[in-house]
Chain A
Amino acid sequence: MIQEIAHKSKWFWPWQDDKEETWLEQMSKQGLHLKQVKIWGGYDFIKAAPKDYIYRLDFRDSLKQKDKEAYLHLFTDLGWEHIGEMNGWQYFRRESQSEETQELFTDADSKIQKYRRILTWVGLSYPSYLVIFVALWSSYPEWAMWLTIAIILLTSTIWLLMSVKLWQRINQLKAL
């Protein structure tokens, strides 16, 4: 039997992981089950009978290969299926009728640490991109200069917004 695949693109900001989980659950309810994730918001779904799945996201971008294997093994042991990875985001799912907890994070500490890892990643990746951008500065033709400045202003604003949003999220969790 040939599996029918549906491709979809959807953008979620790094602080919208709850929203993304809910979206994936709704897709499964319609019979579209996540098969793999691709870079920058590309999703492949398998078409099949509708099912109640629970989807959960963790963020781990810097595990060494050996630690990664142990990490995934623990999650599998606890009943989670690892579907894929996108820019450090780890996609897990399990069937919803299972008895064990439906959350990956069951205390504030570990939840805060998850958002700290995301914030660190956002915080570090953008400036390194900016450095490359500026390093190539002299190779741009003059007419491109203003465009470049506009792009840098725009991306810097987005970067600042992302950092603030994540920082707010961490503070919300701390207040719990």
Chain B
Amino acid sequence: MVKTEDPVNYLPLSETTFYTMICLVEPMHGYALMQKVKDISQDTVQLGAGTLYTIFSTLEKEALIEMISEADRRKTYKLTPKGMHVLRLQIQRLHIMVANGQQVVNQLS
């Protein structure tokens, strides 16, 4: 899965990838991340072990996250500047989506 360097090509992020990246603005390992996502998404997003491993591998390959330490084979990751940029673009998209949704809701009520 080689993508060109334009960050727009990584969009849209899936919900699970989005939440994983949101957490990685600070260094975090798998277990803490899974717990945090469950918490901040108000139980709407679950991360299974297989899914989390797949997301970590993909994001690392795409250089959106990087491993910053490995203690006892437990890897800790953090967002790269490129990852941060992609995340910002995704959040802009989400703003547009919410604004459009809100407009429709307002018209109906």
Contact = CB atoms under 8 A, between A and B. Distances in A.
Contact of B73 (A73, A103, A104, A105): A73
Contacts, number: 71
Interface string B20-43: 000000000111001000000000
A107 B30 contact: no
A113 B57 CA distance: 12
A91 to B, nearest CB: 13
B49 A107 contact: no
Contact of A105 (B14, B30, B31, B51): B51
A78 B52 contact: yes
Interface size class of A (residues with CB under 8 A): 20 to 34
A109 interface: yes
Contacts of B15: 107
A77 to B, nearest CB: 4
Nearest to A56: B50
B84 interface: no
A78 B54 contact: no
B28 to A, nearest CB: 12
A78 B55 contact: no
Interface size class of B (residues with CB under 8 A): 20 to 34
B51 A110 contact: yes
A78 B49 contact: yes
B34 A107 contact: no
A101 interface: yes
Given A77-B29, A110-B50, 7 more contacts: A73-B72, A74-B52, A74-B53, A74-B74, A106-B45, A109-B17, A111-B51
Interface of A: 56, 58, 69-71, 73-75, 77-78, 80, 92, 100-101, 103-107, 109-111, 113-114
Closest A-B pairs by Cβ, 4 of them: A104-B50, A110-B54, A110-B51, A106-B48
29 contacts: A58-B50, A70-B73, A70-B74, A70-B75, A73-B73, A74-B56, A78-B49, A80-B49, A92-B49, A101-B46, A101-B48, A103-B46, A104-B48, A104-B51, A105-B51, A106-B16, A106-B45, A106-B47, A106-B48, A107-B14, A107-B15, A109-B17, A110-B16, A110-B50, A110-B51, A110-B54, A111-B51, A114-B50, A114-B54
